[in-house]
């Protein structure tokens, strides 16, 4: 046999003890009414009086049965039954009784305070259960087992419970005891004819009540009896010897009896009857055995001992010997065997009950069986086993399955008692089981055999098979038994060496189900709790739901409402259920919570409905950055760029420094001003398909006037929370901003959110915001590190000013380059004065005029105070000393100008400082965002050339393209924004009208001549087409124009060196198809001189016609002026060389010439020319001119002379300019002069 675990050993021992108790010799007790009345005084019956003492330990009595060797019996348990109860109750009665017993079993406390929600408590409960299940069997199972056996006592097919002795008890008070005893015996025989047999051992007890009649008298009576019945057959027991001393009550005596008194069945039987506690006993009767003195008890014990040792054991020995002899004579030996086999055929089955032969007391099988039982009682198991086996064969061949089963069952028990091989025992019990099944009349026996089998299997440490046996025992649809069996099986699963928790859970669940169907809600509830305990964290959705549902119902049945509530709460998130089911769950839950919470907010439930997104909240608050509506949405860098510009560096540095030592310690804190609202965006989701109402939603905050340590839950006077309410449609999500504002400076912590579900259930959830862990965490500080918009810890500063900026009639759509005007009102909504305001806007698209302080809505007041803004690089700053008091408003007009196209966000930042500045918050910045839809308008492009005509003149070749797809634009005015040039359109495409029309997606070109102001105005006359703007500058506000130029300057990247810039503004107007109104605006463009290629410019002015008399003078001198213009951005230096056409092929000229040798070259040239004969013309006079740093835009005039020797038309081109930028002495450039024509005629004729 496999080595057994300690538990198995224990179970084996219990099993043997139990069996021994179950199978002790049973005695019939019959007593006169008086005797019972005596016992009544101490609330007992005579039988019950005896019971506690029936387990006789180490009697050490020698026994000699059939074997030659005697052996000693140490312990022997006898069973005493009142004769009137020695029959078996009906099946129905039995079941009712069991049901009653188990339902009366109190197990509410089992699941007291178990929290269906928290895994820990469930686990804890499970483990405690397992522990208890390890050392003792489940208590109610034990109970069930005992009762079950008791109900099967006195079976007709087994002789185990037949009485082997009769105890006749008479009262001593009777004068003639002997005759009375005889009468009683007689009566008993008649009453119990079925169990009575002549050679039943009779024993007589004289019961004496010390409270009436004296002892001597009784003793005499006993002598009389002894004479009559024999010396050993009689005993005396005296009762009620205790004298209750009234001074100091009766000392409490140990309660020996209560567990001996089993409940009686309504139908009676099963060895029990109802004890009449009412009656003479009175109040003493309440405590059992209250009147029994120790002497009394001793007398009882000694009586029983004598009875067992002196009478019962010898008697049984005799019987055994007798039966054995009888049987062996008839059945042992080959002959008998054969005969027996032969004659079994024609054995009369006259008294057959329902198809199986019944065996009367005289029948040999009966006797064999009886022998078996007797020897079993006498613990002579070999004999018992052999006789059981013997008789079982007969039964088998008679197909008397019931008897066969019984005998096999006993055989199995024999082996167990002998500690024989488990296998054998099992086979016996197996066959018993199958036999009973074949008999198939009452299941009880089958089940019993299986129970025994399973116990044996457990004892042999094979729990799995035991489970099999238990499961096999679930045969009829008796829910209670099924439940018990399943439960037992479940326990076996976890008690087995390798615990199988899931199987355990499954069987428990089934058990629970059976329990609930047979209406035993306590057991059912505790079973379900165990299942939940196993399943707590595995979240199998359907299982969890079903379990919560069932447990909820059961625990409601047993008035464990808290538990029920928790279960229903879990059910609220059964998302896969159809709407109607969810609705009914919800209603059920609400009912319960109404009962439990009873409307007091103190006990909040961690409701999961509505589902709160506790990990993501967005906190809106104003520290030194305030946001107007919609400004939150903008990306961070937009604001950071604006802040860079608007916050004066001085303050910022200070701020940073302060922040530095501030942030080093308290970077988990948010700053905010007192009486300012903090908003927290929380998402509520309705996971169900039913509409739910959520009311009284508010933040749960705690406030501390001092510091982090001293938080206590917020009270209304210092923290004010706003209460929201909303209704969630099926599967709806909503984002709610919950608000809180603090009245006094201090610390605020936002813990979570609370709400009222459907007007009944109070729910709460704590925020749990994810974030990186912080290194060192002080007390009360958050353990995680969050970005500001996720922090829930606030330091509330004293009131700080705050402003509100509102734009009036801000256009929703405009054209690129349009200039729209709108109004701006700035109000100090805070409670403190502020000053030193500064304003910026993204790429300066907002242009602010001067502010007008509004005294109490009287804008057009006579002495209205107006404040100029100083614009430096797009930063508009109000004078330092100007303060805006709380509630004061000021207004200004704002011009919007942008050339971006599309949906343009106009972001602006308003900086200001509180008058008395706070250390932690020296300033504040308000961020505003406006959006405007910008349609494309016209674009300018083109290039700028220097006019050939004059160095003072530029030619702008301008292209105007209309990028808009549907609107036509009219270009009216063109202005050079520096105001240094006058413009003049040379040839316009449409010179009929005075505007330029540009159709959608078209492009037109105009040539404009720009003349430097004050230059010799030879162009004055040519005013045509377009009327050019004078100083009026398109009629724009100066401030607007300034910033316009500014932006224009900024718009194009810095021109490369030497390039020349010419900013042009073109004002246009259109009447839009989209907005159906007139729009007008200005588009700017920077013309860039193609700087590098032609920065120098040379023009020659000369007389048109020359008449010269060559007769008079052979040489005609023609004076002309060469003017050199520096169009570049830098000063230049260079040399102007004049030489003669004839020589410029000479190789000697190509060599690079320093300015130094210029003249002598020239001189030798001139004479060289003389040599070569008739030259067409030549330069004369100073032929080399040098100049140093000619300034940009400067013009140098050089007088030169051309000599002509014969009339004719000359093309003069022989002059060159070598120049270089004065700062960079490399890169000599050369500029050929453009040829011009001299027409000389002879004036001689």
Partner 1 sequence: MPRDSTTLTFVIVGEETPIYECEIKAGAKREETVNYLHEFVLHASLDNIDEAIWTTQSCYLKQVDRYYDLTVSAYATSSLVKFLLLHDSKNDDGIRNFFHDIHEYYIKIMLNPFHTPTTKIKSKPFDEKVKLLAQKYLL
Partner 2 sequence: MSSKAKGASPGGGDRINSELFTLTYGALVRHLLLDLESPEEVNKQLDKMGQNIGIRLVDDFLAKTNTGRCRNFREAAKTIAETGFRMFLGCSAKVTQIDDKECKMVLSENPLTDFVELPEKLQPLSYCSLLCGVIRGALEQISMKVECEISKDPLKGDERFELHMRLVEYVNEEYPFKDD
Residues that bind partner 2 (CB under 8 A): 615, 637, 769-773, 784, 786-787, 790
CB of 732 vs partner 1, minimal distance in Å: 21
Name the residue nearer to partner 2 (CB basis): 202 or 790: 790
Among 502, 744, 1146, 1186, binds partner 1 (CB under 8 A): 502
509 binds, among partner 2, partner 1, none (CB under 5 to 8 A by kind): partner 1
Binding residues for partner 1, rule CB under 8 A, total: 19
Reduced to 3 states (helix: H, G, I; strand: E, B; else coil), residue 1221 is strand
Q: Token digits for 113?
A: 């305070």
Computed on alpha carbons and rounded to an integer, the radius of gyration of the chain in Å comes to 61
Q: Which does 1014 bind (CB under 5 to 8 A by kind): partner 1, partner 2, none?
A: none
Angle of helix 6-22 relative to helix 443-459, nearest 10 degrees?
140
Q: Helical H runs in 475-578? A: 479-495, 501-517, 521-535, 541-557, 561-571
Q: Which is nearer to partner 1, 535 or 924 (CB)?
A: 535
- 339 vs 538, beta carbon nearer partner 1: 538
Maximum Cα–Cα distance for the chain, whole Å?
208
Q: How far is the CB of 603 from partner 1 (least distance, A)?
A: 31
Least distance to partner 2 from the beta carbon of 562, Å?
A: 32
Residue 484 C-beta: closest distance to partner 1, Å? 20
Smallest gap from residue 500 Cβ to partner 1 (A) = 4
Q: Shortest CA distance to 909 belongs to which of 895, 893, 926? A: 926
Q: Which does 786 bind (CB under 5 to 8 A by kind): partner 1, partner 2, none?
A: partner 2
Residues 565-604 that bind partner 1 (CB under 8 A): 581
Consecutive H or E run containing 470: helix 463-472
Residue 252 or 1053 having the CB closest to partner 2: 1053
Q: Tokens for 610?
A: 């509505």
Contacts 24+ apart (CB under 8 A), 504-512: 504/530, 504/534, 505/530, 505/531, 505/534, 505/535, 508/534, 509/547, 510/486, 511/482, 511/483, 511/484, 511/486, 511/487, 512/483, 512/550, 512/554
Contact region with partner 1 (CB under 8 A), list: 94-102, 439-447, 530-538, 1168-1176: 530-538
- State how far the Cα of 687 lies from the Cα of 608, in Å rounded to an integer: 9
Give whichever of 470 and 642 is closer to partner 2, judged by the CB atom. 642
Establish if 506 lies at the interface with partner 1 (CB under 8 A).
Answer: yes
Instruction: Name which of 535 and 835 has its Cβ closer to partner 1.
Output: 535
3-class SS at 1150? helix
* Range in contact with partner 1 (rule: CB under 8 A) among 239-247, 304-312, 342-350, 502-510: 502-510
Among 542, 862, 1188, 1226, binds partner 1 (CB under 8 A): 542
Q: How far is the CB of 773 from partner 2 (least distance, A)?
A: 7
Question: What tokens appear for 550 in the block?
Answer: 């069932």
Could you tell me what percentage of the chain is helix, strand and coil, using 3-state DSSP and rounding each to the nearest 5?
Answer: 35, 30, 35
Q: Which residue stretch of 399-407, 498-506, 923-931, 1204-1212 sits at the interface with partner 1 (rule: CB under 8 A)?
A: 498-506
Q: Which of these segments, 80-88, 496-504, 554-562, 1237-1245, binds partner 1 (CB under 8 A)?
A: 496-504
For residue 943, what are the β-bridge partners? 957
- Near partner 1 by CB under 8 A: residue from 57, 345, 537, 773: 537
DSSP H or E segment with residue 813: strand 813-815
Using rule CB under 8 A, residue 822 touches partner 1: no
Q: How many CB atoms lie within 10 A of CB 1001?
A: 11
Beta strands (DSSP E) in 65-149 are 71-73, 76-77, 79-82
Is the CB of residue 859 less than 8 Å from the CB of residue 865? no
Residue 539 found at the interface with partner 1 (CB under 8 A): yes
Q: Which does 539 bind (CB under 5 to 8 A by kind): partner 1, partner 2, none?
A: partner 1
Given partner 2, partner 1, none, residue 41, with its beta carbon under 5 to 8 Å by kind, binds none
Nearest CA-CA partner of 650 in 928, 916, 913, 915: 913
Return the C-alpha torsion angle 746, 747, 753, 755, nearest 10.
Answer: -30
Q: Least distance in Å: CB of 682 to partner 2?
A: 16
Which among partner 2, partner 1, none contacts residue 955 (Cβ within 5 to 8 A by kind)? Answer: none
Q: Which is nearer to partner 1, 448 or 535 (CB)?
A: 535
Contact 192, 83 (CB under 8 A): yes
Asked if 1110 interacts with partner 1 (CB under 8 A), we say no
Three-state secondary structure string covering 928-993: EEEEEEEECCEEEEEEEEECCCCCCEEEEEEEEEECCCCCCEEEEEEEECCCCEEEEECCCCCCCC
Of 503, 915, 957, 961, which lies in the binding site for partner 1, with binding defined by CB under 8 A? 503
In whole angstroms, what is the distance from residue 925 CA to residue 4 CA? 83
Q: Kindly tell me which of 207 and 489 has the beta carbon lying closer to partner 1.
A: 489
Q: Which stretch binds partner 1 (CB under 8 A): 499-507, 613-621, 993-1001, 1057-1065?
A: 499-507
From the list partner 1, partner 2, none, partner contacted by residue 543 (C-beta under 5 to 8 A by kind): partner 1
Closest to partner 1 by CB, 474 or 721: 474
Other beta carbons within 10 angstroms of residue 942's beta carbon come to 17
Task: Confirm or reject binding of residue 538 to partner 1 (CB under 8 A).
Answer: yes
- The least CB distance from residue 787 to partner 2, in Å, is 7
CA–CA separation, 956 and 960 (whole Å): 12
| Cβ-based nearer residue to partner 2, 249 or 1053 | 1053
Select the span of 80-88, 536-544, 943-951, 1191-1199 touching partner 1 (CB under 8 A).
536-544
Distance CA 300, CA 44 (A): 14
* Vertex 45 angle, CA 40 and 47, to 5°: 160
Give which of partner 2, partner 1, none residue 637 binds (C-beta under 5 to 8 Å, depending on kind): partner 2
610 upstream amide cis, omega within 30 of 0: yes
Cα separation of the two ends of the chain: 161
CB of 615 to partner 2, least distance (A): 8
546 binds partner 1 (CB under 8 A): yes
109 binds partner 1 (CB under 8 A): no
**Nearest approach, Cβ of 770 to partner 2 (angstroms)?**
4
Which positions touch partner 1 (CB under 8 A)? Answer: 498, 500-503, 505-506, 509, 535, 537-543, 545-546, 581
């Amino acid at each position: 046999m496999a080595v057994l675990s300690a538990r198995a050993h224990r179970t084996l021992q219990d099993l043997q003890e139990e069996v021994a108790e179950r199978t002790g010799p049973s005695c019939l007790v019959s007593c006169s009414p008086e005797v019972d009345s005596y016992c009544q005084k101490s609330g007992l019956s005579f039988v019950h009086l005896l019971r506690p003492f029936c387990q006789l330990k180490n009697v050490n009595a020698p026994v000699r049965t059939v074997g030659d060797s005697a052996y000693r019996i140490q312990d022997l348990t006898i069973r005493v039954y009142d004769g009137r109860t020695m029959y078996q109750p009906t099946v129905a009665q039995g079941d009712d009784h069991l049901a009653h017993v188990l339902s009366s079993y109190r197990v509410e406390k089992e699941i007291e305070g178990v929290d269906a929600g928290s895994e820990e408590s469930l686990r804890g409960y499970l483990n405690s259960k397992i522990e208890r299940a390890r050392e003792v069997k489940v208590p109610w199972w034990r109970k069930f087992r005992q009762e079950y056996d008791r109900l099967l006592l006195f079976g007709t097919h087994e002789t185990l419970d037949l009485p082997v002795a009769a105890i006749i008890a008479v009262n001593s008070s009777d004068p003639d005891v002997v005759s009375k005893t005889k009468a009683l015996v007689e009566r008993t025989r008649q009453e119990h004819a079925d169990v009575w047999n002549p050679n039943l051992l009779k024993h007589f007890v004289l019961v004496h009540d010390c409270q009436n009649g004296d002892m001597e008298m009784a003793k005499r009576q006993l002598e009389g009896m002894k004479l009559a019945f024999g010396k050993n057959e009689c005993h005396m027991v005296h009762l009620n010897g205790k004298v209750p001393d009234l001074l100091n009550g009766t000392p409490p005596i140990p309660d020996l009896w209560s567990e001996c008194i089993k409940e009686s069945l309504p139908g009676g039987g099963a060895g029990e009857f109802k004890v009449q506690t009412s009656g003479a006993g009175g109040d003493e009767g309440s405590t059992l055995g209250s009147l029994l003195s120790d002497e009394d008890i001793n007398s009882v014990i000694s009586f029983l001992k004598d009875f067992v040792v002196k009478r019962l054991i010898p008697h049984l020995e005799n019987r055994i010997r007798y039966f054995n002899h009888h049987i062996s004579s008839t059945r042992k030996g080959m002959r008998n065997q054969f005969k027996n086999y032969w004659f079994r055929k024609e054995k009369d089955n006259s008294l057959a009950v329902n198809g199986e032969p019944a065996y009367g007391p005289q029948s040999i099988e009966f006797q064999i069986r009886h022998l078996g039982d007797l020897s079993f009682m006498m613990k002579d198991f070999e004999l018992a086993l052999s006789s059981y086996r013997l008789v079982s064969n007969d039964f088998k061949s008679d197909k008397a399955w019931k008897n066969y089963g019984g005998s096999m069952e006993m055989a199995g028990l024999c082996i167990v008692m002998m500690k024989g091989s488990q296998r054998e025992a099992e086979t016996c019990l197996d066959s018993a089981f199958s036999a009973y099944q074949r008999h198939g009349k009452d299941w009880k026996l089958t089940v019993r055999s299986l129970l025994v089998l399973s116990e044996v299997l457990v004892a042999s440490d094979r729990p799995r098979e035991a489970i099999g046996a238990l499961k096999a025992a679930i045969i009829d649809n008796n829910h209670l038994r099924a439940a018990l069996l399943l439960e037992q099986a479940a326990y076996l699963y976890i008690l087995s060496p390798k615990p199988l928790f899931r199987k355990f859970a499954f069987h428990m669940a089934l058990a629970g189900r059976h329990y609930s169907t047979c209406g035993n809600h306590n057991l059912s509830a505790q079973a379900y709790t165990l299942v939940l305990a196993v399943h707590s964290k595995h979240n199998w959705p359907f299982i969890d739901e079903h379990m919560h549902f069932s447990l909820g119902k059961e625990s409601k049945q047993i008035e464990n409402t808290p538990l029920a509530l928790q279960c229903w709460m879990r059910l609220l998130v059964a998302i896969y259920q159809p709407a109607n089911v969810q609705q009914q769950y919800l209603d059920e839950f609400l009912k319960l919570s109404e009962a439990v919470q009873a409307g007091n907010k103190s006990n909040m439930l961690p409701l999961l409905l509505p589902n709160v997104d506790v990990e993501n909240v967005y906190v809106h608050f104003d520290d030194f950055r305030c946001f107007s509506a919609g400004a939150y949405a903008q990306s961070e860098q937009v604001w950071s760029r604006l802040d860079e510009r608007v916050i004066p560096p001085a303050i910022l540095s200070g701020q940073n420094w302060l922040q530095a030592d501030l942030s080093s310690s308290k970077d988990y804190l948010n700053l905010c001003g007192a009486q300012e609202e903090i908003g927290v965006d929380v998402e509520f989701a309705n996971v169900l398909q039913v509409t739910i109402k959520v009311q009284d939603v508010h933040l749960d905050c705690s406030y501390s006037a001092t510091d982090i340590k001293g938080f206590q839950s917020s009270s209304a006077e210092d923290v004010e929370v706003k209460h929201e309410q909303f209704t969630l449609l099926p599967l709806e999500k909503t984002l709610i901003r919950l608000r809180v504002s603090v009245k006094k400076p201090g610390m605020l912590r936002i813990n979570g959110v609370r709400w009222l579900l459907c007007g009944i259930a109070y729910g709460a959830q704590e925020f749990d915001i994810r974030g990186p862990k912080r290194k060192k965490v002080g007390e009360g500080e958050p353990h995680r590190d969050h970005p500001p918009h996720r922090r829930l810890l606030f330091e509330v500063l004293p009131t700080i000013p705050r402003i509100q900026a509102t734009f009036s009639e801000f256009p929703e759509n405009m054209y690129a380059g349009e200039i729209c005007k709108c109004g701006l009102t700035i109000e100090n909504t805070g409670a403190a004065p502020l000053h030193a305001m500064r304003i910026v806007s993204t790429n300066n698209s907002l242009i602010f005029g001067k502010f007008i302080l509004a005294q109490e809505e009287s804008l057009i007041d006579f002495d209205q105070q107006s404040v100029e803004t100083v614009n430096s690089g797009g930063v508009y700053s109000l004078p330092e000393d100007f303060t805006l008091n709380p509630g004061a408003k000021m207004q200004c007009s704002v011009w919007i100008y942008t050339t971006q196209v599309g949906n343009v966000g106009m972001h602006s930042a308003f900086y200001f400082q509180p008058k008395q500045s706070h250390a932690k918050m020296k300033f504040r910045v308000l961020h505003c965002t406006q959006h405007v839809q910008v349609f494309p308008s016209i674009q300018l492009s083109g290039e700028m050339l220097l006019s050939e005509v004059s160095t003072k003149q530029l030619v702008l070749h301008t292209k105007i393209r209309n990028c808009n797809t549907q609107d036509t634009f009219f270009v009216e005015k063109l202005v050079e924004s520096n105001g240094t040039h006058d413009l003049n359109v040379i040839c316009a495409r449409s010179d009929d009208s005075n505007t330029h029309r540009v159709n959608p997606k078209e492009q037109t070109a105009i040539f404009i001549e720009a003349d430097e102001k004050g230059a010799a105005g030879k162009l004055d006359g040519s005013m045509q087409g377009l009327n050019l703007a004078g100083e009026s500058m398109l009629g724009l506000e100066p401030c607007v124009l300034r910033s316009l130029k500014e932006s224009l300057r900024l718009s194009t990247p810095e021109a490369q060196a030497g390039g020349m810039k010419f900013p042009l503004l073109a004002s246009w107007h259109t009447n839009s198809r989209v907005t159906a109104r007139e729009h007008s605006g200005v588009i700017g463009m920077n013309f860039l001189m193609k700087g590098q290629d032609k920065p120098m410019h040379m023009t020659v002015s000369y007389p048109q016609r020359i008449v010269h008399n060559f007769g008079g003078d052979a040489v005609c001198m023609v004076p002309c002026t060469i003017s050199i213009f520096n169009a570049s951005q830098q000063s230049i230096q260079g040399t102007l060389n004049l030489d003669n056409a004839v020589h410029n092929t000479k190789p000697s000229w190509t060599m690079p010439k320093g300015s130094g040798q210029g003249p002598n070259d020239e001189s030798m040239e001139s004479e060289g020319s003389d040599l070569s004969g008739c030259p067409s013309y030549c330069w004369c006079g100073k032929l080399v001119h040098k100049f140093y740093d000619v300034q940009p835009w400067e013009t140098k005039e050089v007088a030169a002379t051309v000599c002509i020797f014969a009339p004719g038309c000359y093309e003069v081109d022989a002059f060159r300019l070598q120049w270089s930028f004065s700062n960079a002495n490399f890169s000599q450039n050369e500029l050929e002069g453009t040829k011009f024509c001299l027409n000389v005629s002879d004036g001689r004729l």
